[in-house]
Chains A and B, each alone.
Chain A
């Protein structure tokens, strides 16, 4: 008897809560999000989620948006495109969000695109693949630089230094595959000839075989590695072991301090294309991104006691683009917000300066990448 009373009481309480919460939430602006906060892409998804939570809390503490509270509804897709699709469906059908920021990887983003296009809800992706915005999709935007830009930036630097024959070593992951394709496409525009095109697996633990081949190929002037995670660090170690003296270029996939920690002394002199965030403190004071970056870095590092990453910066830009658009539209009406995002002009973000247009749903140019060199365990800006 007592027990059944107790259960009934508990059930009543549950009902009361579930009745109340939609009423509360109706008043709030709902921003939906699906990120890979766990799983293999967690080192991207985790700082992205933390950034969204940090700045939405901040926004609410400052009185919210259009006089309403902002509510973040987040699901963790663990890097699984199938899960991402389910969660996006839930965000659209059950949670009825006004806008979605998310999609840590190109795979999860691509899974979400057909759904948001059908539901006509603005979607800002945090993934790198160029397929997301090329061809342009009406409701889809993205904040990170594309892999084509990363390749172009590196090729630009190689051309400047007079390298015309290079070897490419790319990872057989989605990131590396796409990077390889874009590099092959972009290289001729800079008069660069890829004389050797090698690959390695994302879980490989030894790349000396590929590097030996590169070392013994006549005429190679520089080596470009396209991958992320531990692979490029092992490549760097193997490179030093084999005593290869050619300049070594890495993509933005390794643009974090953990790469230097893993590769150790072998990383000395490595050139990479990266966001300015990595060298926030050393940026000249007149750099257009200086203030944004210093503030983001300070906010994030005080809140989480962990170093900032460029991935979190993508989420920062995504949220700011959304907030600015909602402010400009004066409502959360999806098509008004979409138009406002598309009209974004001169937004100075943590990744770069964004100028959107109906033809460009990313709005970044090559200045969003800097060429950095690793010197004595730190990053140095190459002008």
Chain B
């Protein structure tokens, strides 16, 4: 079904249209890819602190979007609602670590992972009861008038997504490089035992990591909600794609999560545009299989001590 179509485009379209088309796929891919990157970063941070893959990461995304919708609904202005929603997600992340992960700190990693799966089902159920089962739209931060660029169109919200993602990445880099807590997180990621001997409270680092990745997830959930809509179960797919992004880039690597996320988004959009929209969702998973076969530690994962 899809095999003949790219040819048709190549023969029928002049190069101008082709470029505009390519640009459109690129914009779409980068926007959605940036959110995968933020979710992937959240996975990486917790993985580094504890080798746990936090499957409740997607729920932080959901809480970000849904809580913002709710706070706007009760009459708060958008910026206040966003801050409130991020705060709620961070508190949820910290509570999750304190109440569910920490009591089981001596259990194996697999047990901890299962705990996070349980927590994600619990959070999703809670959201369903509290906020209902419908989809909600968040108003765009600065209007819906598309920006025309090289024959393609871009929503102002896409610029917000890309801009905020960039700002967060820069802020994180600064945080890890110049703050004591950031350095302690890095040390724990490199070698938890050695970090402990140097007087770093690794349990506290894990606590902070949950708060930090909840923050990243919530921000991702809020900035895409005007484009993709939000609902109580939006975290399943975004969480999964974020996980794929993290693995693609090499679990535990921050640069890897960002590149992996962007790459995943762009590949998806290109696949839908040039191959077939029917097989678009299969493409990322085929890629992840290839990566696991040929580059088991991901694109950026092999550097051992330089992780995060």
User: A interface vs B, CB < 8 Å?
Assistant: 38, 40, 42-43, 46, 172, 197-201, 203-206, 208-210, 212-213, 216, 218, 229-230, 233-234, 237, 240-243, 258, 261-266
- Which A residue sits closest to B24, measured CB to CB? A212
Bound: A218/B270 CA distance, A? 21
Bound: A42/B228 CA distance, A? 21
Query: Is B13 at the interface (CB under 8 A from chain A)?
Result: yes
Tell whether, in the assembled complex, residue A206 and residue B237 are in contact, meaning their CB atoms are under 8 Å apart: no
Bound: A200/B271 CA distance, A? 12
Bound: A216/B15 CA distance, A? 12
**A206 partner residues in chain B, CB cutoff 8 A:** 28, 31-32, 227-228, 269
**B31 partner residues in chain A, CB cutoff 8 A:** 206
Tell whether, in the assembled complex, residue B144 and residue A266 are in contact, meaning their CB atoms are under 8 Å apart: yes
Tell whether, in the assembled complex, residue B277 and residue A229 are in contact, meaning their CB atoms are under 8 Å apart: no
Query: Is B184 at the interface (CB under 8 A from chain A)?
Result: no
Contact A233:B32 (CB < 8 A) given known A209-B277, A240-B144? no
Which residues 192-241 of B sit at the A interface, judged by CB distance below 8 A?
A: 224, 227-229, 231, 233, 236-237
Contact A172:B278 (CB < 8 A) given known A197-B1, A209-B272, A262-B135? yes
**B102 partner residues in chain A, CB cutoff 8 A:** none
Contact A264:B137 (CB < 8 A) given known A206-B228, A230-B231? yes
- Which of A38, A213, A242 has a CB less than 8 Å from the CB of B146? A242
Bound: A140/B32 CA distance, A? 45
Query: Is B17 at the interface (CB under 8 A from chain A)?
Result: yes
Tell whether, in the assembled complex, residue A234 and residue B277 are in contact, meaning their CB atoms are under 8 Å apart: no
Tell whether, in the assembled complex, residue B135 and residue A218 are in contact, meaning their CB atoms are under 8 Å apart: no
Tell whether, in the assembled complex, residue A208 and residue B24 are in contact, meaning their CB atoms are under 8 Å apart: yes
Bound: A197/B135 CA distance, A? 27
Fill in one digit per residue for B42-76: 1 if any A CB lies within 8 Å of its CB, else 0.
00000000000000000000000000000000000
User: B interface vs A, CB < 8 Å?
Assistant: 1, 5, 9, 12-13, 17, 21, 24-25, 27-28, 31-32, 133-137, 144, 146, 152-153, 155, 224, 227-229, 231, 233, 236-237, 269-270, 272-273, 277-278, 280-281
Other than the known A198-B277, A205-B228, A206-B228, what 11 A-B pairs have Cβ atoms closer than 8 Å?
A199-B277, A205-B237, A206-B227, A208-B25, A208-B269, A209-B25, A210-B273, A237-B144, A242-B24, A262-B229, A263-B137
Tell whether, in the assembled complex, residue B12 and residue A218 are in contact, meaning their CB atoms are under 8 Å apart: yes
**B152 partner residues in chain A, CB cutoff 8 A:** 212
Contact A230:B135 (CB < 8 A) given known A209-B24, A212-B24? yes
**A203 partner residues in chain B, CB cutoff 8 A:** 236-237
- Which A residue sits closest to B136, measured CB to CB? A262
- Which of B133, B135, B144, B273 has a CB less than 8 Å from the CB of A213? B273
Contact A205:B227 (CB < 8 A) given known A42-B133, A258-B135, A261-B137? yes
**B155 partner residues in chain A, CB cutoff 8 A:** 241
**B146 partner residues in chain A, CB cutoff 8 A:** 240-243
Minimum CB–CB distance from B279 to chain A (whole Å) comes to 10
**B134 partner residues in chain A, CB cutoff 8 A:** 43, 258
Tell whether, in the assembled complex, residue A241 and residue B153 are in contact, meaning their CB atoms are under 8 Å apart: yes
- Which of A201, A204, A233, A237 has a CB less than 8 Å from the CB of B135? A233
Tell whether, in the assembled complex, residue B25 and residue A265 are in contact, meaning their CB atoms are under 8 Å apart: no
**B281 partner residues in chain A, CB cutoff 8 A:** 201, 204
Contact A201:B280 (CB < 8 A) given known A206-B228, A206-B269? yes
**A262 partner residues in chain B, CB cutoff 8 A:** 135-137, 229
Tell whether, in the assembled complex, residue A210 and residue B153 are in contact, meaning their CB atoms are under 8 Å apart: no
- Which B residue sits closest to A40, measured CB to CB? B233
**A213 partner residues in chain B, CB cutoff 8 A:** 5, 9, 21, 273
**B133 partner residues in chain A, CB cutoff 8 A:** 38, 42-43, 46
- Which B residue sits closest to A211, measured CB to CB? B24
**A201 partner residues in chain B, CB cutoff 8 A:** 280-281
Tell whether, in the assembled complex, residue A212 and residue B137 are in contact, meaning their CB atoms are under 8 Å apart: no
Bound: A233/B9 CA distance, A? 27
- Which of A200, A230, A265 has a CB less than 8 Å from the CB of B229? A230
Bound: A178/B153 CA distance, A? 32
Minimum CB–CB distance from A202 to chain B (whole Å) comes to 10
- Which A residue sits closest to B158, measured CB to CB? A241
Bound: A280/B270 CA distance, A? 44
Bound: A51/B237 CA distance, A? 33
